[in-house]
Structure 1
Amino acid sequence: MGTAPPDTAEGLTPVEAARSLIPLLAAEAVRTEERRALTETTVTALRRAGLLRLGTPAAYGGQGAGARTAVDVCEELARGCASASWTAGIAYGGALFASQLPDPERETLWRDDPDTVVCGTATPSGTARRTGDGWTLSGRWPWISGIRHAPWTLLGFARPGTGGEPERDMAVVPTSALTVEDTWHMAGMRGTGSHTAVADEVYVPDSRTISFTAMADGVYRRRHPGEPRITFHLSINLPLVATAVGIAAASLEKVLDAAARGRPALSPLHRLVAEAPAHQLNLADAATLTDTARLHLRRAADEIDTHARAGHRPALAERARLRMDAAHAMRCARDAMSLLLDTAGAGSFADGSALQRAWRDIETASRHAALSVQTSKEIYGRALLGAPLPPNPVI
């Protein structure tokens, strides 16, 4: 039996609501991992707390939350369950994408349920054939987190561009029109259920497609002038970095608590872990790395929100730095986790250990392609030196 979710989060801010769910999510985390999907108890709790509607436009009963709120929410959720945090972040990003659609399509998605989850992948895959006033999609789209809980799925695809180069688009497709293949058998983040979507001649009208170029050029901001402007990929992916920060922060608390309760040091020099200078220095480094990750992430979220509210797209040099902020935060969180395991010891790798699960989760999450430190460094270095970068709406 799962833990009963709270009845309501009425009167709480989204961050407070997320914090209130930490014990429940932690209690459900083992079952979530075993099922390789969020438990119904977890999904119900997220829904009741309003955390699946963070990115839903306010006009349709959503939070219309900015990146900073989403970042802070996902950090709190990750203290209980990394997969729940990641899925909430995916729902936020999916809603931001879908909010670019025309109002009749947005009404179809959210009129009856502002908690409707939109998941998906921006990576172009499959084939797209022009059919009337739309596209017919076929192919496979792997690693779509939360697809078991999402009535709608975003599928990235490439189409011929006016200048000869392919253009990147996304299609919003009813998940019921797709086959979901059970392919997510991974070391970490198992509860995200990031399976593969298969489309077989699925028609999508133009009204349910989103152009990366149009989004970068602010076309959709003009369609919905009262709503924040989206900066891909930063607006979408910053909450996913917060999952890693939350994992590191929760793990730091666990290791510090064990030391405070008198964990013995397996050393001939010191009786307790708390007395050993090596562990004191190690924990200081881990805490500083976690703080560094949080500071970089929050700076990036605050700057993105400022631009989003003003309807601006950050300049290229700033986008490069903000992308570096996100990748650096992710790497710092992972490095902090490694130091914490040095102090926690080999016992942390035992089956059933919460620290072992945290280690597997952060090692998996930090390899997300959009958050690659190497790619972000190259982009940032080129921007700093004024070297050319391709005219790509993703950059």
Structure 2
Amino acid sequence: MTRKALEQVEALSEQIAATAPDSEALGRLSDESVALIRQAGVMRMLQPAEFGGAAAHPRDFAETVMVVASNCGSAGWVCGVGGVHPWEMALMDPRLQQEVWGENPETWIASPYAPQGIATPVDGGYRLRGRWNFSSGTDHCDWIFLGAVLGDADGAPADPRGTLHVVLPRRDYVVVEDTWDVIGLCGTGSKDIIVEDAFVPDYRTVDAAAMADGGRAAQVGRDETVYRLPFWSMFPLGITAAVIGIAEGALAVHLAYQRERTPMTGTRIIDDPYTMSAISEAAAEIAASRAQLLDGISRLYDLADVGTPITFADRAVTRRNQIRSAWRAVGAVDAIFARSGGNAVRRDNPIQRFWRDAHTGLQHAIHTPGLTYHATALTTMGIEPRPAQRIMI
């Protein structure tokens, strides 16, 4: 059952690919693209069963995102980011879940989680204000997760280390038009969000730290395995799956193009051992990236499934490998793009869009290697990383 969406996406691949130019031109997913994603059920894979979701294995979710992204990078990105939000919503207060999905279980939820707002405690909740960047797919969403730091009585940041995830309905925030003018992932419509002064009741908030280690499920009475996984293992999964899917799309376009290509040297590409070797090496790197990403989340799932605690070391290794898989896949895209000839830069050649999308996806904060690599190396040496080195793990 949980692989139904994957099968649907595979069946709709050509139609999804056909929407990519329109989404790029619009600066958001086209209505047809959104309809296809809804038809396949991608956004409901990690939604709880009581609201019609699949509570799927995260491996199946990642593979589905990869297929979408291999046809349209922007659509895959929105699925990878937005598709994780139902997972976190399943760990929120049941009153909030009912508000979001009670009347329409197809409702999409946006983000971002970066703590770019200030939440000041008041009776019954918080007053929220701020401006956030990069709200992917936000035009198609009716609710949003936002990150915020705690504020003092004057509304100034009180403790940058104390952060919340807060949830707002569309009426309480503004999507700022014309704030997504970019060179890649253009169709994601990752626009800015402004909140002037919104009241957020307590039950629509959660301490970000409570999500980090997978312990939230026990607190809210969830026993499904997928909800016992750590936030910083699940959220990066969808994003990196999109990047790897984009790399797979670039490879497929490249292979189709090189099959019949004869450059000015007069030697057919299929008879050029140097180029063919480079293609095989790039394909192997992309395949390794896929395998490493899926292996990491599957290992964590297996631990959670049998009730074995997921340690910081487990999380760190998974994050390290997830980051490396993204960089490896994009490096492979560079290798094949460099061998695609001058026609690769033409706007009507989809490989240039995959190349731009891949590099833009790599720019996401969760793909920054420094701190995570450092913390993982320390952990494998038996040295406890400092708090600042444990960010996003």
Same fold (TM over 0.5): yes
The 5 A counterparts of 1:124-203 are 124-159=115-150, 166-182=161-177, 183-203=179-199
Match of 1:246 in 2: 245
1:225 aligns with 2:222: yes
Change over 3 Å in CA distance of 1:214–1:101 after alignment to 2:
same
106, 114, 120: which is aligned to 2:105?
114
The 5 A counterparts of 1:13-52 are 13-52=4-43
How big is the shift at 1:278? 1.1
In 2: Cα distance, 1:135 partner to 1:65 partner = 33
How big is the shift at 1:309? 3.4
8 Å contact kept, 1:38–1:192: yes
How big is the shift at 1:276? 0.9
364, 367, 373: which is aligned to 2:369?
373
- Percent identity reads 25
8 Å contact kept, 1:323–1:376: yes
Structure 1 counterpart of 2:353, which letter?
R
Change over 3 Å in CA distance of 1:165–1:362 after alignment to 2:
closer
Q: Matched residue of 2:119: which SS?
A: strand
How big is the shift at 1:113? 2.0
Change over 3 Å in CA distance of 1:108–1:311 after alignment to 2:
farther
- The CA deviation string for residues 369-389 of structure 1, in whole angstroms up to 9 with x for no partner, is 012123332222121223332
In 2: Cα distance, 1:89 partner to 1:312 partner = 27
In 2: Cα distance, 1:11 partner to 1:75 partner = 16
Q: What TM-score do you get using the length of structure 1 for normalisation?
A: 0.91
8 Å contact kept, 1:28–1:39: yes
Q: What TM-score do you get using the length of structure 2 for normalisation?
A: 0.92
How big is the shift at 1:308? 4.0
Q: Matched residue of 1:125: which SS?
A: strand
324, 331, 334: which is aligned to 1:328?
324
8 Å contact kept, 1:128–1:136: yes
Match of 2:256 in 1: 257
In 2: Cα distance, 1:345 partner to 1:118 partner = 41
In 2: Cα distance, 1:124 partner to 1:313 partner = 28
How big is the shift at 1:394? 3.8
How big is the shift at 1:210? 1.5
Change over 3 Å in CA distance of 1:379–1:393 after alignment to 2:
closer
1:347 aligns with 2:335: no
- The CA deviation string for residues 21-77 of structure 1, in whole angstroms up to 9 with x for no partner, is 211111110000000111111111111221121121111111212210110000100
8 Å contact kept, 1:56–1:114: no
Q: Matched residue of 1:121: which SS?
A: coil
In 2: Cα distance, 1:91 partner to 1:148 partner = 12
**Paired residue total:** 382
Q: Matched residue of 1:168: which SS?
A: strand
Match of 1:206 in 2: 202
In 2: Cα distance, 1:393 partner to 1:364 partner = 22
In 2: Cα distance, 1:328 partner to 1:136 partner = 39
63, 81, 106: which is aligned to 1:90?
81
How big is the shift at 1:111? 1.9
Match of 1:5 in 2: none
8 Å contact kept, 1:102–1:207: yes
Change over 3 Å in CA distance of 1:266–1:377 after alignment to 2:
farther
How big is the shift at 1:393? 7.1
In 2: Cα distance, 1:198 partner to 1:165 partner = 20
Structure 2 counterpart of 1:318, which letter?
D
Change over 3 Å in CA distance of 1:376–1:48 after alignment to 2:
same
- The CA deviation string for residues 196-254 of structure 1, in whole angstroms up to 9 with x for no partner, is 11001111011000112222351343313323213121111212111111111122122
Match of 2:155 in 1: none
How big is the shift at 1:357? 0.5
In 1: Cα distance, 2:151 partner to 2:307 partner = 28
8 Å contact kept, 1:126–1:137: yes
Structure 2 counterpart of 1:367, which letter?
Q
In 2: Cα distance, 1:96 partner to 1:219 partner = 12
Match of 1:266 in 2: 264
Change over 3 Å in CA distance of 1:318–1:84 after alignment to 2:
same
In 1: Cα distance, 2:349 partner to 2:75 partner = 18
Match of 2:67 in 1: 76
User: Structure 1: which 5+ runs fail to align?
Assistant: 1-9
Structure 1 counterpart of 2:240, which letter?
V
Match of 1:315 in 2: 311
In 2: Cα distance, 1:110 partner to 1:369 partner = 30
User: Structure 2: which 5+ runs fail to align?
Assistant: 153-157
How big is the shift at 1:12? 7.2
In 2: Cα distance, 1:175 partner to 1:151 partner = 5
Q: Matched residue of 2:83: which SS?
A: helix
How big is the shift at 1:307? 3.5
